[in-house]
Each structure stands twice: as C-alpha cells, then as structure tokens.
Amino acid sequence: MRKVLTGLIASSILMTSVGALANSVTVQVTASNQVTNIPADFGAPRFVLDKPWFTGDLPGFPISSTPTTHVLTVDSGFNLPGLSITDHVPPNTGLIWFYFCDGLTFHYTQPNAAATVVFTGQIDGSKPGTGVQCVCTGSACSTTAPVTARLVVVR
C-alpha cells in the first residue's frame, strides 16, 4: 500500500510540474505609476499579475514614475494586471491595496507578447477605491482604451 501511495504522490507532483511548464508564457512588461495622492503610510508600488482564485504571492516587480521593463514568465492564467501598494506603518503594517484594471486582460497569443501599462489618476482619500485608471498598449493588451481600476484590500 505504501508503494502505491508514494507512486501516486510522485505521479501527481510530476503531472503538476509538467502542467505548470506547459502553461508558461513570457511577456515583456513596461510599467509606470503616475497615481497621485497615495496615502503617506503606503509605499512600494508594484506592477502585479493576478489570476482568478489565486491566493499566493503575485508575480510582478517594483515600479515608479519612471517606466520600468521586466520580462515575466508566468502561468498563462496570470492575465489580470494591477498596481499594488503596501502600508508600512503600524497598526496596519502589511495591509495591501491592489488596484486591478477592470476590463483589461493580457492575451498571450502573439509570439512576442508585450505590454506597456501606465497607472494614472488620483486616489480620493475619502473613497480610496476610486480615481485610478490603467492604460495599456502593446500586443498583450485586450484593450487600449483607458479602464477604471477596482480596489481590492488584502491583509
């Protein structure tokens, strides 16, 4: 029984690993953050990619007002671009605000998928879930029209 169980676990791990490799895609992302009025206790803006129902660390990279370019290799399900900012002041240290671009997804059908994403707008202190937009250009973008970002708060 132990050999069968060990064999099943090893097979499951192998199938999961091979499946993850089979779904990998590469995308070149240039991103910048032009959002103003970010609360003083928040910092460390990052470009992130999310996928539905994912609960781990999101792939991404730090960004600033100057465009930053990175090549990301991700599971093809990671197609929801967003901006994250993190609270670094007690009592809310570690609180993360994610601004996900509603209506914008990345498509990886082009051989050299690329996107330039600019986060713009002004955070409204009384309603922090409003005022942020995303603009995307490039072959990976599902739309080039400006879209409103939706705020998701994670502790």
DSSP string, 67-121: -EEEEEEEETT--EEEEEEEE-STTSTT-EEEEEETT--B---STT-EEEEEEEE
pLDDT tens per residue, range 26-57: 999 999 999 999 999 999 999 999 999 999 99
Determine the average pLDDT of the residues in 132-136. Answer: 98
5 part of a folded domain = no
In a domain, 2, yes or no: no
Count of structural domains within the chain: 1
Q: pTM to 2 decimals? A: 0.84
pLDDT, one tens digit per residue, over 97-131 is 999 999 999 999 988 999 999 999 999 888 888 89
Domain assignment present for residue 32? The answer is yes
Asked if the model's pLDDT at residue 93 lies above 70, the reply is yes
Does residue 47 sit within a domain? Answer: yes
Q: Specify the pLDDT at position 22.
A: 63
- What is the domain extent for residue 64? 24-154
